[in-house]
Structure 1
Amino acid sequence: MLTSYKTIKGYGEETIIIKKSRFIGYAMPAETEEEAVKFIESIQKKHWDATHNCYAYQIGPHDEIQKSNDDGEPSGTAGKPILEVIKKEGLKNVAVVVTRYFGGIMLGAGGLVRAYGQTAGAGLRAAGIVTRSLFQMIHVGIDYTWLGKVENETLQAGYFVDHIEYMDRVRVTALVPAEEAERYAKLITNTTHGQAEIMIGESIYATIQDGKLVKKL
């Protein structure tokens, strides 16, 4: 698994007017090709009356799935420039659609390439480019008296608290870089004098932005 990768935070949309043509850039995270196609079809349905709905997507840990479509624009002037913007940003699991309403002025091949690339970039920026990193979930079961100490030690060590469950005992679920799982377990064991029940959970990707955990993309 990749230790980290760049993608977008969520849905993004931006409109640009170029020589009276209206270009609307849409971006959406897509973990599978099915998700990408569903998103593209939703934009096509929304803008059924548009002159063009051009798109591209790149999916997979090693960019195994790449596809672009010019939707009637001259070959290579729309879908490919959108895909190139995704590649230039180094993004994974992303789908982008650029909708065009023709304004009556021809842009030429070079103008189309620039327009679709510019609009795709604007849509991606509106969505928010982020880095997702691989973390190990570690569940820590403790008595309530240890909660403040465990939470403080976790945060001060540079790790993240995903959530806390309040039951007969408290269960703190921390997110720790996979290679530091053993170090964190020792930290909590020492902090609680061996009174914590520590269980290694699954590996997940999470987004850290401005030093804070982004709960959901």
Structure 2
Amino acid sequence: MQTLRAPVRSELTIRKSRFLGCVQPVADRAAALLVVERLRAEHPGAAHVCWALHAGGQSAANDDGEPGGTAGRPMLEVLRRQHLDGVLATVVRYFGGVKLGAGGLVRAYTDAIAQALLGAEKVPLQRELRWMCRAPYDLEDWLRRQARAHGVSLLSVRHDDDVAFELAGGETSLQELRAQLDAAGGGRLRWDATGNPVRP
């Protein structure tokens, strides 16, 4: 699976209607809905703001008043065929007065997203995980520095008989951090790497 590095836009004019397409990375459905609401506010004269989200279990499609199945679902299929996840596709349509028919609408919405994806940079989708690490007090400052250096976040730190760190980061970053800490820690660190993904 892949996601996108940054938003990419396209614009098509088909029989006097303008189709403003965009594909962009999003974390989840809540973030996607915020983008859609912002588009509605930015384009008050648009006839439709259609969208499709492919984000694991939160995938969805919306035709926003176009005939059922002619906008959101075809856009979602484009994302699925390109094996993208964590991606929102939107198309803002300004109606030009000429009806395109169901087949024409499917082609228009599909083309708007396919054209945007031609210029998109795809990157591997990294699962973001939460891991627990317990370390002796004398390694606390060192562990904090190493976490920062690897781009891993400290979600919480608890001081008991030892120091318990809750770490969050990309799967690769966490694995690299753990390998370095284990190599230098002399077997003094304990890990619980069974936490659920923050987001798939």
Band of TM-score, shorter chain:
0.5 to 0.7
CA contact (8 A) 1:30 1:94 kept: yes
Deviation for aligned residue 1:105: 2.7
CA separation in 1, counterparts of 2:6 and 2:84? 13
TM-score (norm 1): 0.60
CA separation in 1, counterparts of 2:90 and 2:126? 26
Partner residue in 2 for 1:73: 66
Deviation for aligned residue 1:25: 0.6
Structure 2, unmatched stretches of 5+, are 132-138, 143-148, 152-170
Structure 2 residue matching 1:91: 3-state secondary structure: coil
1:29 has 2:22 as partner: no
CA contact (8 A) 1:56 1:79 kept: yes
Q: 1:76 to 1:11 in 2, by over 3 A?
A: same
Structure 1 residue matching 2:74: 3-state secondary structure: helix
CA separation in 1, counterparts of 2:128 and 2:87? 21
**What percentage of aligned pairs have identical amino acids?**
33
Q: 2:10 aligns with which of 7, 14, 24?
A: 14
- Please identify which structure carries the higher strand content: 1
1:114-125 equivalence runs, <5 A: 114-125=107-118
Aligned residues: 168
Q: C-alpha root-mean-square deviation of aligned residues, in Å?
A: 3.9
CA contact (8 A) 2:85 2:125 kept: no
Q: Deviations over 1:182-215 (max 9, x none)?
A: 76568x65xxxx9xx9998x9999xxxxxxxxxx
1:132-211 equivalence runs, <5 A: 132-133=125-126, 162=150, 176=172
1:52 has 2:48 as partner: yes
1:108 has 2:104 as partner: no
CA separation in 1, counterparts of 2:174 and 2:34? 33
CA separation in 2, counterparts of 1:129 and 1:41? 25
Partner residue in 2 for 1:94: 87
Deviation for aligned residue 1:176: 4.8
Deviation for aligned residue 1:130: 1.7
CA separation in 1, counterparts of 2:59 and 2:172? 32
TM-score (norm 2): 0.65
Give runs of ≥4 in structure 1 deviating > 4 Å: 134-137, 175-186, 197-200, 202-205
